[in-house]
Structure 1
Amino acid sequence: MTQTIRNIASIIKATWMGKNDVAIIDSISIDSRSLQNDDNTLFFALSGPNHDGHSYIEELIDKGVKHFVVTHIPKSVEGRANFLLVENTLEALQKFASYYRSLFDFPIIGITGSNGKTIVKEWLNFLLSPDYNVIRSPKSYNSQVGVPLSILAINEKHNFGIFEAGISMMNEMEKLQKIIQPNIGILCNIGSAHDEGFPSVAEKIKEKLKLFTSVTVLILNKNKTILAFVNPKIKTFTWSSVDKTAAVFITTKKTDDLTELQVTYKEDTFPLTIPFQDQASIENAIHCMMVMLYLGYNSKVIQTRISQLYPVEMRLKVKNGSTNCTLIDDSYSSDFQSLKIALDFLENQKQHKKKTIILSDIFQSGLNNEELYSQVSQLIISNKINRVIGIGETISQYKNKFINCSTFKNVSEFTDAFDNLNFGNETILIKGARDFHFEKIVSLLEEKTHETVLEINLNAISHNYNFFKSKLAPNTKMMVMVKAFGYGNGGFEIAKLLEHHKVDYLGVAFADEGISLKTAGISVPIMVLNPETTSFSAIIQHHLEPEIYSIKGLKAFLKIAEQKKLKHFPIHIKIDTGMHRLGFEEGNIQELSQILKGNESVQVKSILSHMATSDDMKHDAFSKSQIALFDKLSSQLQKELNYNSIRHILNTSGITNYPEAQYDMVRLGIGLYGISNDSDEQKELETVGTLKSIISQIRTISAGESVGYGRRFIAERETKVATIPIGYADGIRRSWGQGVGYVVIENKQAKIIGSICMDMLMVDVTDIDCKEGNAVLIFGENPTVSFMAKQLNTIPYEILTSISQRVKRVFYRE
């Protein structure tokens, strides 16, 4: 993309204010944190309920960005850059993308539906790439922001486009239609996702169909309900397994791990083998086949290519590697746009100063190889990658374009040289096209642990953080608690994401938690809430900030501070307003003030207290009495000290129930991890942690036989028993066994039978069609952590923090 500021201003109907209206723009950005922003970037300052891109303009100018689309010019940057003033920056981005799309005249497929959009898109890309130079949405870029960014990646060499459109409420699809302008439409499965955003299922269907108002053809599973809403002027190309009047009639038969189809189209019937058995994958593959039929592919080509379809991994995963490495696994795709996304994610999640990328040949860029690898090189340089390992015949030819680069023609050559590559203490992005089988590289580098994993959804963390952030006044700061290993979810990875979101403070319980984060490179201020006097020297050494809650502790810290000749070292004063756990009481305030007054060794950075009943409105009067006492005592202390400190008393429930007491900062805890005591609020939060395992073994026992220690389960009938490699040493309470709890296998509940063992538990799978190696859901969407806690008469905190650190954490972003 190459446009001038003058041209863009005209397209988006902006008022230009600046010094150079003929400046060349070759990239668009909405992320101030991306290292790919440069002097040819046009930054759209998007504003939403949880953020305002205008806040980062000064920082971006200091980094070299010169061009901005804004609704207003902050006073601090007046005259320092090119500004395009518009009424709404998101609408301006969409308007520009719509214009840019109109510059190209080649087939564009638009895909929508509730489920399967991304998989159909990725499979179509695989199926059509031998014949077309395809541009497609990277990852799941299907939103009001993601779609325009996807369209703006088109270049002159592309001759086929595949874009998905996702909506969650009314009046969104019309905007996406104007941007994508599809010629061919695919309506995937319509399910219950986002039902809450629509008055009815009928309105949801009508809204999704707005994507196809100008298509030449609409491909869909023949369904009378949906067809009733389709404009009769739109040509449809339908398939069905029940209605023989559909354009394509299909019968299915499942064998082993495959599904065999008989496809009848016009006068021809041909067999088709799909390497999946689940219904969703079958439907997705049929939609792909329908596109190939419409485009005129013969049955032989369709048979060959469809049989080679593969599971699509839609996540960027963070994994522990051997030799103290961190792996970012993106080993199933290699195209230019998704490379940009992966490099931003690498910067977000890097856990070591040294950054390495293992990269295969890049396909479907629309550029000639010379230009492509020049741009890839610049991208890698801008992201400050320390080492490049290229794998593939083509990238090997352009080795000289990369700094500190070694190349191999294939994965086998890399494997042979593996021991001499000296991986250690680095973050490694592994990004390769599927044909290269980079999963072998991931396996080589990955730390070996057992098959039980806790998957942490970083998108959900971001969503929940922004949800609570949206409840705050504009100037209210946010502290997030990452104590207890991030409530069992993982400390550093979550801290790094929060740092990326520019959180104001992190909170830990003990000094060693904070030291671990600081040693790993976290720069956000960290408060230690329960510091022991023996840890004060280490706290000072690692630039942590202690909470002080007693006269004895204060004197001990001041003694060390004076010995080390500290000046204004930040401390935090805890006041007890009714929790009666830790903190200065009202009677201590005068003595506390006298000790602190005029002492230059320390500075009271904040004054805080902790609410005991903010989650239970039955104790509303008590909560308000705590807030009133905190206001009185903190005000008194600030007056005595003659300077203002940050004040904070609200925890997660307090943020929702007592917004009038936000003061200068709030402390977000369990809410970040997707758990609320309020049932309405719970619906707004996303599940963060999903605990999974597999079936190790299946056996059948006769009536009268027993399972597990103490023979606490006796079979009343012939029973099929599956053993799962997770037990109480992993954090699953024994009281969850003996028929109380369950796991989910193949979307069905399997009761836990007998006693839960240290490393294993057993479940009844008599009525479930499953086999050894199948996935098992321990908790996540169902059962939820809150449900488990209620059944066990405990709280979600205990369930989460009990998950052993021997359980591997896998962090991912959709």
Structure 2
Amino acid sequence: MNLEQLYQAFLKSDGVCTDTRKLEPNQIFFALSGPNFNGNKFAAPALHDGALAVVIDQAEYEHPVEGTYFLVDDCLKALQELATYHRRQLGLPILSLTGSNGKTTTKELIAAVLSQKFNLKATRGNYNNHIGVPLTLLSFTSENDFGIVEMGANHQGEIAELSAIAEPDYGFITNFGKAHLEGFGGIEGVIKGKSELYRNIAARDKMVFVNQDDAKQMELTQEMKRLLIGPEMEGNSLELLGTNPRVIFKLNNTEIQSHLIGEHNAKNIRAAIGIGLHFGLSEEQIKKGVESYNPENNRSQWISKPRNKILLDAYNANPSSMEATLTSFKDLDSEAAKTVILGDMFELGETAASEHQAIADLADSLNFDRVFLVGANFYAVNAHDGQIKCSEYEDLVVALQQKDVEGHLLLIKGSRGMALERILDIL
């Protein structure tokens, strides 16, 4: 394959697609394959449905008479190489971020702030893996003057790979927490894996933003170009006025009221403010950006029902995020009784039993009015008085019908695979 020829075809196209069910006319179809599917089989149908060209890696599926084919050694590798090539041609500044908790919320906050000044494009949803990152890069156009690329990982080496594809000019790590412990091999593995972003940026003499109160990050970046995010940044003062019921900051003389709760989200907001300051945004632009962000997609999302007010944080969960959210929820000023519905945390490996027990113990110590523990891992814990264990979702439905929670303030949190947002239909 000639990469330049593929790139010229890309410039004439209306983007790329890896799923023929979502194919739009004049796109280039990349025939990605996996353990249970072979995308090459869909190359000819993609051309029939209006694709400008198709990229395949099995010669037997090439039928040039039917349209434009690019035969490559590996479709995924070709997608990634095209993305990097495109990124270099555009030359726009790119900020990449990763972390154990809060990276998507922080990405959205940073985007909300920087979009007050830049024609910006950022990762959509959680398109943050080895396929999502190149798709994000290929969505950038010459009309954009700033890009934000979120990077997710569940094992070492992944962030290094994604950083090599995106070649970011700036980097930010939200935190090192107890996420994907099974794949990373413990918390030290998490630190090593996530900080691959630092190593990539340091090697290219680029810049990182660092939480000043994170001792480990301060240590890892002490020899790097960095901006410290804290109470004082580039001649500005930033004061946290409160986190209950909403996070409120004072930037110099400007009060910024967010739609988020808790100390953990205060750190995410502070990062967005600090990065905004670095790129020359005014206090009013930063205020507008932060205050415009309303969480959605099951992330720290407030939902009002006729019988309850609900904090839905069911997009994902790990021990670190679970602890932070439970503590913040307990601290909320409310006269209503508080009930928590907690779903299993996945990818914890041999620590699963102890980490689920620790969360059950924490929930008990915080004296919530009701605690529902849902899933096989939580079902195996030694529950405390008043805690209701449900081995699966259907048991939760029955338990909520038996235990009246009308008028309660509810927290719903669990890993994505638990899909606890389903319970909204019966509340």
Does TM-score exceed 0.5, indicating one fold?
A: yes
Q: How many aligned positions are there?
A: 369
- Aligned residue runs from structure 1 range 541-552, under 5 A: none
Deviation at 1:305, TM superposition (A): 2.7
- The correspondence for 2:172, drawn from 179, 186, 191, is 186
- The correspondence for 2:372, drawn from 757, 778, 781, is 778
- The correspondence for 1:113, drawn from 99, 104, 119, is 99
- Aligned residue runs from structure 1 range 529-678, under 5 A: none
Q: Does 1:749 align with 2:363?
A: yes
Q: Does 1:285 align with 2:273?
A: no
- The correspondence for 1:83, drawn from 65, 69, 78, is 69
Aligned position for 1:163: 149
- The correspondence for 1:809, drawn from 413, 422, 426, is 422
Over 3 Å counting, the alpha-carbon distance change for 1:227 and 1:49 in structure 2 is: farther
Over 3 Å counting, the alpha-carbon distance change for 1:109 and 1:793 in structure 2 is: closer
Over 3 Å counting, the alpha-carbon distance change for 1:777 and 1:179 in structure 2 is: farther
Distance (whole Å) between structure 2 residues aligned to residue 183 and residue 23 of structure 1: 24
- The correspondence for 1:225, drawn from 202, 206, 216, is 216
Q: Does 1:310 align with 2:293?
A: yes
- Aligned residue runs from structure 1 range 669-748, under 5 A: 722=337, 748=362
Contact 1:110 1:185 in 2 (8 A): yes
Contact 1:27 1:41 in 2 (8 A): yes
Query: What is the letter of the counterpart of residue 218 of structure 2?
Result: L
- Aligned residue runs from structure 1 range 493-504, under 5 A: none
Could you state the TM-score of these two structures normalised by the residue count of structure 1? 0.38
Contact 2:158 2:193 in 1 (8 A): no
Distance (whole Å) between structure 2 residues aligned to residue 456 and residue 216 of structure 1: 34
- Aligned residue runs from structure 1 range 52-71, under 5 A: 52-65=38-51, 67-71=53-57
Aligned position for 1:123: 109
Aligned position for 1:559: none
Deviation at 1:231, TM superposition (A): 6.9
Distance (whole Å) between structure 1 residues aligned to residue 157 and residue 398 of structure 2: 44
Distance (whole Å) between structure 1 residues aligned to residue 229 and residue 181 of structure 2: 25
Distance (whole Å) between structure 1 residues aligned to residue 3 and residue 137 of structure 2: 18
Distance (whole Å) between structure 1 residues aligned to residue 266 and residue 197 of structure 2: 22
Deviation at 1:103, TM superposition (A): 1.5
- Aligned residue runs from structure 1 range 115-264, under 5 A: 115-199=101-185, 200-201=188-189, 202-213=191-202, 214=204, 216-222=206-212, 223-230=214-221, 232=223, 234-240=224-230, 251-254=239-242, 256-261=244-249
Distance (whole Å) between structure 1 residues aligned to residue 307 and residue 389 of structure 2: 30
Cα deviations by residue, 1:754-773 (Å, 9 ceiling, x for unpaired): xxxxxxxxx9548xxxxxxx
Query: What is the letter of the counterpart of residue 799 of structure 1?
Result: D
Distance (whole Å) between structure 2 residues aligned to residue 794 and residue 127 of structure 1: 41
Deviation at 1:805, TM superposition (A): 9.7
3-state SS of paired residue (1:143): coil
- Aligned residue runs from structure 1 range 342-357, under 5 A: none
Contact 1:239 1:250 in 2 (8 A): no
Deviation at 1:114, TM superposition (A): 1.7
Query: What is the letter of the counterpart of residue 43 of structure 1?
Result: F
Distance (whole Å) between structure 2 residues aligned to residue 750 and residue 30 of structure 1: 46
Contact 1:785 1:799 in 2 (8 A): no
Distance (whole Å) between structure 1 residues aligned to residue 265 and residue 254 of structure 2: 17
Q: Does 1:297 align with 2:287?
A: no
Deviation at 1:456, TM superposition (A): 12
Query: What is the letter of the counterpart of residue 13 of structure 2?
Result: I
3-state SS of paired residue (2:89): coil
Over 3 Å counting, the alpha-carbon distance change for 1:96 and 1:787 in structure 2 is: same
Deviation at 1:723, TM superposition (A): 7.2
Contact 2:106 2:269 in 1 (8 A): yes
Contact 2:32 2:39 in 1 (8 A): yes
Tell me how large the CA RMSD over aligned residues is: 4.9
Distance (whole Å) between structure 1 residues aligned to residue 136 and residue 262 of structure 2: 30
Query: What is the letter of the counterpart of residue 291 of structure 2?
Result: Q
Contact 1:260 1:271 in 2 (8 A): no
Q: Does 1:49 align with 2:35?
A: yes
Aligned position for 1:383: none
Give unpaired runs (5+ residues) of structure 1: 13-20, 264-268, 317-331, 333-438, 461-693, 700-720, 727-741, 752-762, 767-775
Aligned position for 1:33: 21
Distance (whole Å) between structure 2 residues aligned to residue 64 and residue 187 of structure 1: 41
Contact 1:186 1:220 in 2 (8 A): yes
Query: What is the letter of the counterpart of residue 229 of structure 1?
Result: L
Query: What is the letter of the counterpart of residue 54 of structure 1?
Result: N
Distance (whole Å) between structure 2 residues aligned to residue 298 and residue 138 of structure 1: 26
3-state SS of paired residue (2:66): coil
Cα deviations by residue, 1:618-637 (Å, 9 ceiling, x for unpaired): xxxxxxxxxxxxxxxxxxxx
- Whose radius of gyration is greater, 1 or 2? 1
The structure with the greater share of residues assigned to helix is: 2
3-state SS of paired residue (2:124): coil
Contact 2:103 2:150 in 1 (8 A): yes
Give unpaired runs (5+ residues) of structure 2: 317-329, 342-356, 406-420
Distance (whole Å) between structure 2 residues aligned to residue 456 and residue 125 of structure 1: 21
3-state SS of paired residue (2:291): coil
3-state SS of paired residue (1:142): coil
Could you state the TM-score of these two structures normalised by the residue count of structure 2? 0.68
3-state SS of paired residue (2:34): coil
Cα deviations by residue, 1:46-103 (Å, 9 ceiling, x for unpaired): 1223432123334434434362211103459575333222222111101000011112
Distance (whole Å) between structure 2 residues aligned to residue 793 and residue 778 of structure 1: 6
Distance (whole Å) between structure 1 residues aligned to residue 291 and residue 226 of structure 2: 27
Task: Report which structure shows greater RCO (CA 8 Å, sep ≥6).
Answer: 2
Contact 2:113 2:285 in 1 (8 A): no
Deviation at 1:297, TM superposition (A): 3.1
Over 3 Å counting, the alpha-carbon distance change for 1:231 and 1:42 in structure 2 is: farther
Contact 1:70 1:86 in 2 (8 A): yes
Contact 1:9 1:84 in 2 (8 A): no
Deviation at 1:311, TM superposition (A): 3.3
Aligned position for 1:396: none
- Aligned residue runs from structure 1 range 329-340, under 5 A: none
Distance (whole Å) between structure 1 residues aligned to residue 393 and residue 249 of structure 2: 49
Query: What is the letter of the counterpart of residue 219 of structure 1?
Result: F
3-state SS of paired residue (2:195): helix
Instruction: Report the identity percentage.
Output: 23
3-state SS of paired residue (2:209): strand
